Structure formats: C-alpha cells, structure tokens
Amino acid sequence: MNPRSTGAEHAITIAPSILTADFGRMADQVAQAEAAGADRLHLDVMDGHFVPNITFGPVLVAGLRRSSRLRFDVHLMIENPERYVEGFRDAGSDRIIVHVEATEHLHRVVEHIRSTGAETGVAINPATPIIELEEIAPFIDLALVMSVNPGFGGQSFIETTPRKIYRTRRLIDKWNPSASVGVDGGVDEETVASVVSSGADCLVAGSAVYNDRASVEANLARLRDAMKRAERMRSNSSADSLDA
C-alpha cells in the first residue's frame, strides 16, 4: 500500500495519552513526556454517557497548561460536545477533537471549534464507516481513527484498523490533503509499522508510554525508533512504486 504517493507529506508525530498516566503526579508525568521529546499531548475527556468511563474536565487541562509547552489535543468523548468547546479552548486546548457519533450537527460543531482559533479534529469509532468523514473532511485538521473502542486505556489494537487507516488516508488526500490522519488505541512498538505504512501520521499512544515496565523517556525512544523504521520502509515503498 502506498496511499501517500499523491497526497501531502506530513511529519509523523507522537502524542502520549495521559489516560494511563499516574493521575497522582500528573504534572510530572506530562513534564517527563515533554522532556523526552513528545510532539503533542493527548487528553481524553469522558463523560460516562458517550463512553463508559469518566475522566476530567477543563480544570485539569488548565492546570497542565500552566506547566507545559506541549500542544494539547483534547479528545472529547462526550455527548453534546458543542456545550464544552469554549471551556476547553479557554483552558488551553490547541486542537479539539469530537466524534462523528456524538453530535447531530457535526459541521456546526467543527465551525464552532474553528471560530475559537483551535485546530479541529473528528474521530470515528471502530464500527463507523469512513464515508461519515467525507462531507466534513474539507473543514478539519485531523481525522482520528479509533483502533479500540473508546472508554478505557490499555486495550488491544483491532487488527483490521490498518486497512481502515489506508482508506481514510485516501479519502482525506482527495478532499483535504493538508489534514492529518491519526490513530488512537493500542499503538505500540508492534503496531507502529502497520499504522504508519497505512498512512497514519499522528500516533496516539497511552499504555506504551505510561507503564511500569520502563521510564517515559525509554518508552518514547522505543516508539520513535519503531516509527523511524516504519518511515524508512514507507519511503522505500514509495521509491519502488515510482521506479515501477
């Protein structure tokens, strides 16, 4: 597969998700990711309705904002996200991500996010067809493919996700080549190659970064090494397709 041969090239970024971090020392956990060279920070907001879990609100985002220079991606896994756009933007969100499935008026919500000056992202759940992104694609900065069912960290990567990323990349390249394609859930050293080769350029990683096996720095280094290997493989694949 070579979905990127005609679309815009994007630098691949890693966004640690704090969902599996130690909430008792959150500022320190974020500082470790920043010191280790994380590109962005992914903050999962859950309401116990759209997903079966509850996490945090704008207050935590604002607290972390005061101590971090990372760009914040706030992922609203909540019903009626339009009610909270202003609050999370004021708290320091740089990109606000909403779900296709969470609102009846997606374009209105995306335009609302854009009006605040934040970047826009739209996520789709594992069983949601990518055609749901087609009409909104020209208006977003990120299409986020969920590779687990949202709600909890540490879940296993859904094995059919790479082909969904590939088709999403083709759709985005058709309607908005400047937009990124992200993947969220189960991203680790073993799955990086498949998601990068399929066209993902924003990798959200939670338990692969925050765990008891190694430090945040060591975990991010291993992810980055795996990512670089995948990028080389993709580049070689692109060169081979041009020579063919």
Query: Residue 98 belongs to a domain with what CATH number?
Result: 3.20.20.70
Q: What is the DSSP letter of 185?
A: S
* 4 inside domain: no
pLDDT of residue 238: 56
The structure's pTM equals 0.92
* 147 inside domain: yes
Interacting residues of 104 by C-beta distance below 8 A, sequence separation 6+: none
* 19 inside domain: yes
Please tell me which residue in 44, 47, 73, 188 is annotated as part of the active site.
44
- Give catalytic status of residue 243 as yes or no: no
**Count of domains for the chain:** 1
* 70 inside domain: yes
* 118 inside domain: yes
Greatest alpha-carbon span in the chain? 55
pLDDT of residue 6: 40
* 2 inside domain: no
pLDDT tens-digit readout, 88-128: 999 999 999 999 999 999 999 999 999 999 999 999 999 99
Rounded distance between C-alpha atoms, residue 132 and residue 124, angstroms:
8
pLDDT of residue 243: 52
Structure confidence at residue 154 as a pLDDT band (50, 70, 90): confident
Please tell me which residue in 47, 73, 173, 184 is annotated as part of the active site.
184
pLDDT tens-digit readout, 16-61: 999 999 999 999 999 999 999 999 999 999 999 999 999 999 999 9
Rounded distance between C-alpha atoms, residue 104 and residue 80, angstroms:
9
Q: Which residue has the higher pLDDT, 155 or 197?
A: 197
Torsional sign, CA 63, 77, 109, 201? positive
* 7 inside domain: no
Domain that residue 173 falls in? 13-243
pLDDT of residue 178: 97
Residue 17 identity: S
Q: What are phi and psi of 93, to 5 degrees?
A: -70, 135
DSSP secondary structure string, 3-66?
A: TTSSS-----EEEEBGGGS-GGGHHHHHHHHHHTT-SEEEEEEEBSSSSS-B---HHHHHHHHT
* 5 inside domain: no
Structure confidence at residue 232 as a pLDDT band (50, 70, 90): confident
- Give catalytic status of residue 44 as yes or no: yes
